[in-house]
Chains A and B, each alone.
Chain A
């Protein structure tokens, strides 16, 4: 049925019985949802309804798209999705991994993992077999050792996804790792695997990758590599990658500091891209078919943390450095490595530890949880201890393991104000005291506060921080369409376009060469909007079924940004205005075709061929026309 791009098969595995079946990929799913996130949300809408995310009834979806693994820039991406135990809504993550390529070489576009195993297990998939195997020997091991063990058993070239102790212990801020430090699924996908007693997924494949016109793909790739390397930004990108953002964020006062209390950090110079490049960096590491590798492998050679090596990037350094007041680059690297080994999300771990320190300093952290801990800014040893405690769910760690939303609810009182999250997902490394558009990007991100759908901050600063207009929101939606729609469904990396200006016009040409199908960017944008509406509908359904009333308040950023102005730096005194935020949010709903509660209107659902959503959602929240 498919001439290329898709393999045309979906693998379904039931861990409770160890049985599997192979399904044909339907034309509807391929053409109307494309791949990756599109497949994931459609399967979740149809099949995962009102369940406890950590129960066997939840499903874990590993999905590629029609461009994944093919000969085009940065094609080795995988979407890991499930109903999120951290947020209670739609959760996904995007991981750069050879697993995605191997999945297609094993003959599958997606793998849906259902049920739960009684004993620790891992899934082994090849074109010839699907086996649920015992993971007793690696249960409890850190992610790096686990991956090495599995490679020893199955050959070095297999693709491996693995969880660490955090995922095993159902820590809700746990993630999934691969290739020694590449992580994805910060919406608690590690815990979903843990709840299924699924330590790892190992995939080997040797089938030809499905491509309609390989010759054309080679021609386009040759042009693309040339184009990317000619970009005037290429040289700095290769030297520093996302780490150049440290200096940029600091200069624009959006660098998250002391649990997002400030936008400038006095120690920023010590943890900058420049320092990394000059002192610590040893290698560029990248994903499959990536001509512009972003991975900065860095090694600390001297001092207390000598021997620490890790792949560093902006988010990790922002959240484990400035946000915790830590200005020792080697200590930040050690924290990053520890989080990777434990299988903890670096961003949420930084947010959770920052939350704990601030709560302690405000005197609102219950003393029985504090014990003899001294929670101070700038203390890497404390942060490491807390990370271990989170992964093991010990004492204060058990509270933080639930994520900051739940932690704040349990503490009560003012704790809510300093819990930096949206819909339960911790905010990533951009302070928004003076960035209302970026705050809206966090507020409306379809997985909770994350920047992958709209890294709006750079646009916003160009456009003007204080601009409150429909145009600003239109631009934000356009970014969500491209980043959260196109790239999450192609399931390829967005960075060639974002960082080096790779023209989007290439993608219809690549799509044609991959699949044989003519599509326009407008067609793909329509798919993106369909998926956005379905993700939204999923959140509303699952929250309503869980007894939470859906309201626009759920799309609000944390109160701290509204109520507590910046005290330092060039923007001292600045804070978000509720009135301005309301305006932006209203524009957003209007442009999306959603009502004043942020719920898609019937007409909008019909427009995007989501008629099947209407009866169920209407019964729960009475849809408006």
Chain B
């Protein structure tokens, strides 16, 4: 399963980023979120919305790149991080083909969507229904 983004419903409100940072750190900080929304511009269509979030690739290049086994695929099928084993090498971030693994200056761990353990808060809070969970376990 992964989070599916609908650019025609997204208004660029960043509520997903806010609730993501709260869910994982109990604070508000969009730059500590594991999903990022961007407003972009094209001469043809004006403003377009984009979101960068983990696609939960079948082959999980981020997990494959992890040298310590800190990053793993949970039994339910989403990426999870054992923070105690993470050495902060960020090989996973480099390996992600979608730029969906993030870093933050003050954090020694990567920020990768863990689907909140199966019930993503961003999907729940998105006021426009632009985020949906797609695919089964």
Chain A residues near B (Cβ < 8 Å): 69-71, 76, 98, 101, 105, 144, 148, 156-157, 179-181, 205-209, 211, 214-215, 217-218, 221-222, 225, 228-229, 282-293, 295, 297, 299, 307, 309-311
Contact = CB atoms under 8 A, between A and B. Distances in A.
Interface stretch (B7-15, B53-61, B63-71): B7-15
A291 B127 contact: yes
Given A229-B127, A293-B11, A218 B19 contact: yes
Contacts of B19: 71, 218
A228 B128 CA distance: 12
A285 B39 contact: yes
Contact of A295 (B11, B45, B105): B11
Interface string B35-57: 01011110111111100000000
A214 B44 contact: no
Contacts of A214: 22, 26-28
Residue with the highest number of chain B CB atoms closer than 10 Å, among A181, A289, A295, A310:
A289
A214 B128 CA distance: 23
Nearest to B40: A156
Given A206-B31, A283-B49, A287-B13, A144 B125 contact: no
B41 A180 contact: yes
Contacts of B125: 221-222, 225
B104 interface: yes
A225 B39 contact: no
Contact of A144 (B15, B32, B41, B49): B41
Nearest to A308: B46
Interface in B1-31: 8, 11-15, 18-19, 22, 26-31
A294 to B, nearest CB: 9
B13 A290 contact: yes
A211 B105 contact: no
7 contacts: A148-B41, A206-B32, A208-B29, A286-B11, A309-B44, A309-B45, A309-B46
A52 to B, nearest CB: 36
B36 to A, nearest CB: 7
B34 to A, nearest CB: 14
Contacts of A287: 13
A295 B128 CA distance: 14
Given A156-B40, A157-B36, A299-B46, 10 more contacts: A71-B18, A105-B29, A209-B29, A221-B125, A228-B127, A283-B11, A283-B46, A288-B13, A291-B15, A292-B127
A17 B88 CA distance: 41
B106 interface: yes
A157 B38 contact: yes
A545 to B, nearest CB: 43
Contact of A283 (B8, B29, B43, B44): B8
Contacts of B28: 69-71, 208-209, 211, 214, 217
B29 A206 contact: yes
Nearest to B9: A284
